[in-house]
Structure 1
């Protein structure tokens, strides 16, 4: 009987290595993979199969459109669990993808089918040693920010509390403190990364791979931990004013943003502006524009920055103050806010980095947004995001020193098209809508290049749009890809090739 069982297990394993067969033998293959893989993992690792509560939680995503096809979830408890999972998957011809906060919405991820999700949830430690912190690959931004704050420290993270440090960081990573310190990726000192071979490698600036991990890192491995620069908290006080504007203020608002806050590409070091327009029928039949002006090191925002917006005649205003940790709650980036909920909506983004606002283009985009969301009610939960962060720390770092290419761009713009998944018709309308909005902005730049922030990307962009148009950039990425991932195991998130 033992011989029969062994032969049967081998037969199942062999059949399950065939992706086509695995589709109709999925339940059997999943059980076989679970048992075989479990023997390789640490005692604290978890494996979730479809239908379990853990599987549902691990595979839920901010966007339910064009998602990866997951047959099994592995939750590593030590870094070697990631390596063992990759080795097992390679041996059995199973694709895999790493997930932290579940905000990766790029549609290229849907190319991963019948695969293993490596959920980094348990690799979430934050260890602080003077001016360096060692952070686990699955640590979310809130845990990082709050742990550092308790020690009188801070570093650059993404804005949302529910995204990981490394998810945005491997693609550059914008954040509130970037004016002082640069992008999230600019804080990296060293990292442990599991390569496509399953080898765990510790790299730093002496490695040829280091350049690529700062902007295109999703293509080269799974980072299980990273050491980052941390800084003493310089200013504990933060303040904000928030304005709402109606449709007649579009031109005045974006002109004021250009003149008074963007300041020819040299915005104030301690000022962040953030906003969006969306439908809010309780305030107005047409979309309402929201603008936050946020100041570091103040208990109230200096009027020199806000007076132009008061003079414009907002529909409403509000003010508040607190600490750095309060900012996500003010602007709707906290764990309880909509961007942190996984409720089954399709959310697609169409980003473009620009130098300054073309006021006429913003009017055209606003009018198109108004027209489409009224005529297509399925899309009226969409919004149009615009972000203006300080730039000094980002621009102080030579562009050629990292794979992140677009340091000279000043503004991050992203239409976010949201709908309840209900078939291909509305999905096509949503995609066309997002592309038309971005095309308006692109034409308004007057430039031949479209720069698209990889962490917000839709997925139909090119590697040039994500990683820069210079031939030497593309060639360097390709050489590194061929060296470290010749079989293209990491090619589901904005692939370089």
Structure 2
């Protein structure tokens, strides 16, 4: 077969480790009786194949969360969409499972059901092309959110992306996708115009609003194919400047803080203003409070240099521990909220990072106090493994999201206002600790669910722990489940795209 060694800086990876066809002959190599050199010879000249045991392979398969992780025998880095077609057909010929990866934060436990096969790492498909009319952008399947945001910013454009800089553009989008601009334009998936995708049988198709599959891709898209490129709506940059007020509260004030949030934006006919985002985090910071987690409340406003007093004064009246203003641009939001490329939540540390998400319409302050006590006990006792845990409360403006009908897409939870999730970061040391984390996370979520007054558990599939049901991920309405199952049967009858939150 033919090979090109991968050069990374001054280092050359051994020929046995990395395969990219068309330079020099070597012996055929087999992994678990599958001749991957045959696959390498069929790929484009810049595609790469990493075999298990190499540094390049280890880097490619490293997960953000080291809990119930998928196992691959080989990693393929396609550089053309035809490479993906070839890889999927090769996998089918050899009865091999395959899984597409890109970016970080995919941590659902169902991924652990892949115990061998091919990882298709999308990072080389990173093109970003703005249409000449300035109305759309075509995005390669491996593009990271920050790269897209920066590329559009450079030409005075924007679109909705995930908030965290290190996530892929498409990963969040396929599950709906929340973002800073959703109050203006809707979810990430609401921006879809068309997509090129490879189906389970290896066929390459284009999907747009004329296809029945288009509906499913906007909320349950992980189940149906590999997107090689996506065309999305884009918008003129209207508000470059942003301001944020960071208010730090003692945990003793938990009920009062969230009562203010309720009264401001979530109950009695109130709504989050379209120019405002309200996030909060709970975390243990012994430099601020050695006895209990703090509450960090973020008020983020677009188009201003200082957050309006109408938004800050009700919280300031509670006498926070501190109040810190920030002023900058849209590009600063990720760093301000601790989710930039160099922030801790974007690093692959080898820790487990399970989340237990739930959607809410408003805060039940009694439930908030109860789960705060659980979170406090879990993060501040002397022997806790969860001292680095983070509790996330994401309150986006919703006007753009709610401008679409409930049945417009597979995303089911447009009427909910809050995305809440404890992130129980810990260093794994056996299944017993995993069980403790699962019990704690589900106990927290159950209290919030019971306090919500809802009759169904609504969860965000992109944050899912994995023990939830398809009804929780994709909506409990019978017609939704029936429609998704029918499409699954039509487009993926063998369930080859079922490692991430499977429909059935």
CA distance in 1, matches of 2:436, 2:42: 46
Moved over 4 A (4+): none
Deviation at 1:338, TM superposition (A): 1.0
- Match status 1:353 vs 2:356: no
Equivalent in 112, 119, 128 of residue 121 of structure 2: 119
Report the equivalent of 1:410: 417
Equivalent in 412, 426, 429 of residue 422 of structure 1: 429
When you count helix as a share of all residues, which structure comes out higher? Answer: 1
Contact 1:265 1:410 in 2 (8 A): no
Q: Which ranges in structure 1 are unaligned for 5 or more consecutive residues?
A: 1-26
Contact 1:30 1:72 in 2 (8 A): no
Equivalent in 328, 331, 339 of residue 322 of structure 1: 328
Report the equivalent of 1:9: none
Per the alignment, in what secondary structure is the counterpart of residue 377 of structure 1?
coil
Contact 2:30 2:37 in 1 (8 A): no
Report the equivalent of 1:274: 279
- Match status 1:194 vs 2:201: no
Report the equivalent of 2:406: 399
Report the equivalent of 1:11: none
Report the equivalent of 1:249: 253
Contact 2:245 2:298 in 1 (8 A): yes
TM-score, structure 2 length as denominator?
Answer: 0.92
Contact 1:382 1:416 in 2 (8 A): yes
Deviation at 1:28, TM superposition (A): 4.3
Contact 1:262 1:388 in 2 (8 A): no
Per the alignment, in what secondary structure is the counterpart of residue 399 of structure 1?
coil
Report the equivalent of 2:265: 261
- Match status 1:373 vs 2:375: no
TM-score, structure 1 length as denominator?
Answer: 0.93
Contact 1:261 1:305 in 2 (8 A): no
Within 5 Å, give how 1:99-114 maps onto structure 2: 99-114=101-116
Query: Is 59-68 or 262-271 further displaced after alignment?
Result: 262-271
Equivalent in 222, 228, 242 of residue 224 of structure 1: 228
Per the alignment, in what secondary structure is the counterpart of residue 432 of structure 1?
helix
CA distance in 2, matches of 1:123, 1:398: 33
Q: Which ranges in structure 2 are unaligned for 5 or more consecutive residues?
A: 1-28
CA distance in 2, matches of 1:421, 1:150: 42
Deviation at 1:58, TM superposition (A): 1.2
Contact 1:294 1:301 in 2 (8 A): yes
Equivalent in 299, 305, 313 of residue 305 of structure 2: 299
Report the equivalent of 2:97: 95
Deviation at 1:496, TM superposition (A): 0.2
Per the alignment, in what secondary structure is the counterpart of residue 349 of structure 2?
coil
Q: RMSD of the TM alignment (CA)?
A: 1.2
CA distance in 2, matches of 1:150, 1:45: 29
Report the equivalent of 1:490: 497
Contact 2:263 2:270 in 1 (8 A): no
CA distance in 2, matches of 1:438, 1:33: 46
Report the equivalent of 2:7: none
CA distance in 1, matches of 2:329, 2:145: 16
- Match status 1:471 vs 2:478: yes
Report the equivalent of 1:65: 67
Deviation at 1:374, TM superposition (A): 3.4
Report the equivalent of 2:36: 34
Deviation at 1:241, TM superposition (A): 0.5
Deviation at 1:32, TM superposition (A): 4.3
CA distance in 1, matches of 2:152, 2:32: 40
Contact 2:284 2:380 in 1 (8 A): no
Report the equivalent of 1:434: 441
